[in-house]
Amino acid sequence: MLGGSVDPAVLERVRGWRPYVEAKLGFRNHWYPAVFARELAENAPVEVMLLGERILLNRLDGVVYGIRNRCLHRGVRFSQRLECYKKGTITCWYHAFTYDWKDGTLVDIITNPNSALIGARKIQTYSVREAKGLIFVFVGDIDPPDLSADVPPGFLDEGMAINGKRRMVKSNWRLGVENGFDASHIFIHKHSKLVVRNDIALPLGFAPISAGDNTREVLGEPGPKGLYDLLGEKSIPVFEGAIGGEPVIEGNFGAKKVADNISIWLPGVLKVDPWPQEGMNQFEWYIPIDATTHCYLQTLGRMTASEEEAASFRREVDEKWVDLALDGFNDDDVWAREATEEFYGDDRGWIEERLFETDMAIVEWRKLASRHNRGIQRPEHL
């Protein structure tokens, strides 16, 4: 399902975060990481889908370009059979309409070289940036802001080495965001091999000390807009679980204290600092693909002093942390999001849910995202 329409009856009952509920297909006019740079070879186009839009990426002389993966003539996808006869152009396999990768101009029609359409029509192009080993694409209509406005603080810092993986998750992107920023969801990680093998202290949950403000907004101009969860300092960690006063389960009393700072940033990216151990950060995106699927793009970062040190860290991620953390810990999150999709898939979950005290950070995120997004992706954009 590509459509992103929300049940009008639900919208009538939503209070405080209606734009967030409307954003089933994500927030428009933002930068999103589409693929890792290593996935895009020279002159080897790759199709991606972002916010329901099919996009074709190609690297030419080292520079990456993006065009709408749909011919103007009869609407077929170029990627169904890629044909590129001249460098810098792509030719539709159906009737040979040929376009320039750089600006989308219809430069020729092989089957009718005298057509009046040549030079007079264009397909949509996308602004693209390559940074930290990722290919970012701007989906929207406005002049793109600097990439730094849509990534967490520290991600673009000089010396920050980045590596990770991406995978598709069968749930809406908002369930990914809220799973990552949900303090009480750590209960599902109680048996994680990362927690045990890395000797991490991980409680079963958190009991807020008061019903007061347990978040802090950051509304940088022109920097990123986000929210810090302060439950770590404004709650009591629950290490012993009881039912009716009788102890039934314990948390993990490890020696390492991590995840001191957890924050969420528009358009939907989490930063955990430090994680999975001191000196490292996790940055993870929940990228809308369609109404029921998101791309979970997981990266780990560490400050390094040289390219040799950065390369060593990237190998360490591949050889150790993908298995132990990105899979060994985050597989639980993927399972939880897909299990939650059933409840929210028909939109009624937004009004039938019954949140509790620890969920107030999620509520504040919904409000912030509703106020400060740059636009809502709607079915008519597809």
Residues 6+ apart with CB under 8 A from 327: none
pLDDT at 139 over 50: yes
Give residue-wise pLDDT tens across range 325-366.
999 999 999 999 999 999 999 999 999 999 999 999 999 999
Tokens of 93: 């396999």
pLDDT at 3 over 90: no
Angle subtended at Cα 13 by Cα 184 and Cα 10, rounded to the nearest 5 degrees: 85
pLDDT band at 121 (very low <50, low <70, confident <90, very high): very high
What is the pTM assigned to this prediction?
0.96
Q: In what order do the strands lie in the sheet with 281-290?
A: 160-169, 293-303, 281-290, 269-273, 261-265, 225-229, 215-219
Q: How many CB atoms lie within 10 A of CB 235?
A: 20
- The secondary element (H helix, E strand) that includes residue 176 is helix 173-180
Average pLDDT over residues 196-201: 92
pLDDT at 97 over 50: yes
pLDDT of residue 221: 82
d(CA 335, CA 352): 21
> Amino acid letter at 344?
Y
Give residue-wise pLDDT tens across range 8-19.
999 999 988 999
Q: What class has domain 146-381? A: alpha beta
pLDDT at 371 over 50: yes
d(CA 270, CA 257): 19
Helices (H), 213-261: none
Domain boundaries, the chain: 30-130, 146-381
Establish how many alpha carbons lie within 13 A of residue 98's alpha carbon, considering only the half-sphere containing its beta carbon: 17
Strand partners, 264: 227, 270
Helices 360-372 and 173-180, axial angle in degrees (round to 10): 130
For domain 30-130, the question of CATH label 3.30.70.141 is answered with: no
Q: Where are the beta strands (DSSP E) in 176-277?
A: 201-202, 205-208, 215-219, 225-229, 235-238, 240-243, 246-250, 252-253, 261-265, 269-273
